[in-house]
Amino acid sequence: MGRYWQVLRLFWATAIAAELEYRINFVIAAFTSLGGLAGSLFGLFLFYRDGYQFQGWSWAEALVVLGVFTLLQGVAATFLIPNLNRIVDQVQQGTLDFVLLKPISSQFWLSTRTLSPWGIPDMAFGLGVIAYAGSELNLGLGAYGAALPPLLLGIVSLYSLWFMLGATSIWFVKIYNVTEVLRGLLEAGRFPMVAYPAAYRVFFTFVIPVAFLTTVPAELMLNRAGSGWLLATLGLALVLLQVSRWFWRFALRYYTSASS
Amino acid sequence: MRSHRPAQPLSLPRTLLSVYYAYMVEYRAELLFWMLSGTFPLILMGIWAEAAQGGQFSLDSSTLVRYFLAVFLVRQFTVVWVIWEFEKEVVQGKLSPLLLQPMDPVWRHFAGHAGERLARLPLALGLVLLFGLLYPDAIALPGLAQLGLGLLAAASAFCLRFLMQYTFAMLAFWTERASAVEQFWFLFYTFLSGMIAPLELYPDAVQAVVVWTPFPYLIYFPARLLAGFPLELGATLFQGFSVMLGWGLLFWLVNRWLWRQGLRQYSGMGA
């Protein structure tokens, strides 16, 4: 275990050193996040401006969901996207061979090799929105504490889904845009689940579990969902993580390396 | 050069188009995924349809469903990615051989986009029909005139968006990350074009400003024609097409100017 921590520290230190070469990119990313946040707020405001509200979600409560969504977007941009989209490259160019030969878990290597600070502005804005909404709703520290476990579990679920999609490139090779499909569907997490028609809700709970990524953490934070939901989030994260490990081992059996 | 003129007047565009169509059909699985990644309007469709049943909005539920299905189609019809290709050509020096051909390189990109449209269209229509089953009340074909105008508007929207992105692509002559400009521009496109809601539901002040920008004409204008919204003929149509034409001219002038300046700047990296 200690060895993994050490490797992780090395991975991230080198990744950050490399990214610091492109400081202007970071400024651009910050502006883009700010614009994106303004747009998201505007999009939500269109629903609320005439006195309509999503059933049981006041403006401030809906803001919590949007804040969690923005935060997750930042986490994905920093930790998930730079690594998992690269699996496709590795398979296509056959460099996966070198990863497999290393004496650590190949899934660990592929999932943590690099990180990009591009998502940090999104994370900061997401936290800002959550804090603003929290102060409007007079939430105590306990509420933030209650939100933390489901949020982390949600990130684990998201990672597992993304990793499995990336792993399918063992069979399909060129699938850069499969992850774009996932990203498109995750957009549904901007709004609380009750805002959707029943068919959508079923899809986003059981097929692509977007509900567990944003709505459930927000509900737990607002203290409106029982601990059953927390258990469900935990179960989902553990199952998806384990399935992703199995799936990776299964996929590797079909890996034949490039040009062979 | 007289003797090298093509035998038929339109044989060059026809050849280009059929070549790129064949190329796109070859990658139809990838095409399907690209299409599915554009589901944002369909997600919003669900929320607005639900919201319209509960709240007092100026549009009813099935109108909104029809609008968003039209948005989805228009969006599929106007996807543009020329800046990423052009950026790569400039950075890697691949533009150089293309400059030697007796044809402006833009036509290759344009034919690629047009060919992809043809390959994508059947897939997109299939998905719209699928959602039609979910909301059978919402399906209604607009009148023939309106359908024709809608298609014309969608085609113009595609041309305008292509022209705008190709203009930003010219910046690749000076910077390596021209696509960052496009990404920033895309935010305005997402939130002001009517992709997240029909313009009728925007606050009046925002509406008044936004109609002078190019954004609503890229999605909202063709989509409302295709969705068969009641049409105040004349004024709206005239305004729509003339604003598009105005922005198109402006971007065209800037584009040609940047192209000439850029070619002077271009040194054929890697050559």
Number of structural domains (chain A) is 1
Residue A257 has pLDDT above 90, yes or no: no
More confident residue, B56 or A166: A166
How far is it, in rounded angstroms, from Cα A54 to Cα B73?
27
How far is it, in rounded angstroms, from Cα A208 to Cα A162?
11
Q: How many CB pairs under 8 A join A and B?
A: 84
The pLDDT score that the predictor gives to residue B7 is: 57
Number of structural domains (chain B) is 1
- Classify the C-alpha dihedral B84-B88-B89-B90 as positive or negative: positive
How far is it, in rounded angstroms, from Cα B223 to Cα B170?
29
More confident residue, A238 or A253: A238
B89: closest CA among B20, B164, B19, B172? B172
Mean pLDDT of B80-95: 88
Q: How far is B133 from chain A (nearest CA, A)?
A: 12
Burial class (CB within 10 angstroms; exposed 0-12, middle 13-18, buried 19+) of A71: buried
How far is it, in rounded angstroms, from Cα A257 to Cα B232?
62
How far is it, in rounded angstroms, from Cα A153 to Cα A149?
6
Binned at pLDDT 50, 70 and 90, residue A260 comes out as very low
Q: What are the chain B neighbours of A199 within 8 Å (beta carbons)?
A: 134
Mean pLDDT of B84-113: 87
The pLDDT score that the predictor gives to residue B90 is: 87
Residues of B with CB under 8 A from a CB of A: 29-30, 33-34, 36-40, 43, 46-47, 49-51, 54-57, 134, 177, 180, 183-184, 187-188, 190-191, 196-197, 201-203
Mean pLDDT of A2-14: 89
Q: What are the chain A neighbours of B201 within 8 Å (beta carbons)?
A: 46
More confident residue, A24 or A137: A137
The pLDDT score that the predictor gives to residue A184 is: 87
A147: closest CA among A172, A119, A117, A126? A126
On whether residue A186 sits in a domain, the answer given is yes
In which residue are the tokens 């922005």 written? B247
Residue B92 has pLDDT above 50, yes or no: yes
Contact B184 A32 (CB under 8 A): yes
On whether residue A257 sits in a domain, the answer given is no
Q: How far is A176 from chain B (nearest CA, A)?
A: 9
Residue ranges making up the domain that contains A238: 2-252
On whether residue B271 sits in a domain, the answer given is no
Mean pLDDT of B220-248: 84
Residue ranges making up the domain that contains B39: 11-265
Longest Cα separation, chain A: 63
Instruction: For residue B74, give every residue at least 6 positions away whose Cβ sits within 8 Å of its Cβ, in sequence order, or none.
Output: B154, B157, B219, B222, B223, B226
Binned at pLDDT 50, 70 and 90, residue B104 comes out as confident
Residue A174 has pLDDT above 90, yes or no: no
Instruction: Please enumerate, as own/partner, the contacts of B12-15 that have beta carbons within 8 Å and a separation of 24 or more.
Output: B12/B103, B13/B107, B13/B111
Per-residue pLDDT tens digits for A197-219: 998 999 999 988 999 999 999 99
On whether residue B3 sits in a domain, the answer given is no
The pLDDT score that the predictor gives to residue A259 is: 56
Q: What are the chain A neighbours of B184 within 8 Å (beta carbons)?
A: 28, 31-32, 35
Instruction: Please enumerate, as own/partner, the contacts of A172-178 that have beta carbons within 8 Å and a separation of 24 or more.
Output: A172/B29, A173/A88, A173/A91, A173/A92, A174/A88, A174/A92, A174/B30, A175/A88, A175/B30, A175/B33, A176/A85, A176/A88, A177/B30, A177/B33, A177/B34, A177/B37, A178/B33
Give backbone dihedrals phi and psi of A240, rounded to 5 degrees, phi first.
-65, -40
Binned at pLDDT 50, 70 and 90, residue A58 comes out as very high
Query: Which amino acid is it at B121?
Result: L
Mean pLDDT of A132-136: 93
A119: closest CA among A149, A167, A155? A155
Tokens of A210: 């977007």
On whether residue A48 sits in a domain, the answer given is yes
DSSP-assigned letter for residue A53: -
The pLDDT score that the predictor gives to residue B235 is: 66
How many residues are recorded in chain B? 271
Residue B6 has pLDDT above 60, yes or no: no
Residue B9 has pLDDT above 70, yes or no: no
- Classify the C-alpha dihedral B102-B107-B109-B111 as positive or negative: negative
The pLDDT score that the predictor gives to residue B266 is: 83
Binned at pLDDT 50, 70 and 90, residue A130 comes out as very high
N-to-C CA span, chain A: 35
Binned at pLDDT 50, 70 and 90, residue B231 comes out as low
Mean pLDDT of A143-160: 92
The pLDDT score that the predictor gives to residue B132 is: 80
The pLDDT score that the predictor gives to residue B271 is: 41
On whether residue B6 sits in a domain, the answer given is no
Q: What is the mean pLDDT of chain A?
A: 88
How many alpha carbons fall within 13 Å on the CB side of residue B188? 15
Contact A149, A90 (CB under 8 A): no
How far is it, in rounded angstroms, from Cα A33 to Cα A39?
10
How far is it, in rounded angstroms, from Cα B228 to Cα B73?
14
Q: How many CB atoms lie within 10 A of CB B247?
A: 19
Per-residue pLDDT tens digits for B167-201: 999 998 888 778 888 888 999 999 999 999 998 88
Instruction: For residue A71, give every residue at least 6 positions away whose Cβ sits within 8 Å of its Cβ, in sequence order, or none.
Output: A122, A123, A126, A127, A130, A151
The pLDDT score that the predictor gives to residue B270 is: 47
How far is it, in rounded angstroms, from Cα B216 to Cα B223?
10
Residue B5 has pLDDT above 70, yes or no: no
Contact B196 A43 (CB under 8 A): yes
The pLDDT score that the predictor gives to residue A38 is: 94
The pLDDT score that the predictor gives to residue A223 is: 87
The pLDDT score that the predictor gives to residue A237 is: 95
How far is it, in rounded angstroms, from Cα B85 to Cα B92?
11
- Classify the C-alpha dihedral A127-A133-A138-A139 as positive or negative: negative
Contact A181 B40 (CB under 8 A): no
Instruction: For residue B238, give every residue at least 6 positions away whose Cβ sits within 8 Å of its Cβ, in sequence order, or none.
Output: none
Query: ipTM of this predicted complex?
Result: 0.85
Mean pLDDT of B9-37: 81
The pLDDT score that the predictor gives to residue B244 is: 93
On whether residue B248 sits in a domain, the answer given is yes
Q: What are the chain B neighbours of A175 within 8 Å (beta carbons)?
A: 30, 33
Which residue of A49, A172, A197 is in closest CB contact with B46? A197
Q: What is the mean pLDDT of chain B?
A: 85
| DSSP secondary structure string for all residues of B137-205 | GG--PPPHHHHHHHHHHHHHHHHHHHHHHHHHHGGGGT-S-THHHHHHHHHHHHHHSSSSS-GGGS-HH
Binned at pLDDT 50, 70 and 90, residue A227 comes out as confident
Binned at pLDDT 50, 70 and 90, residue A236 comes out as very high
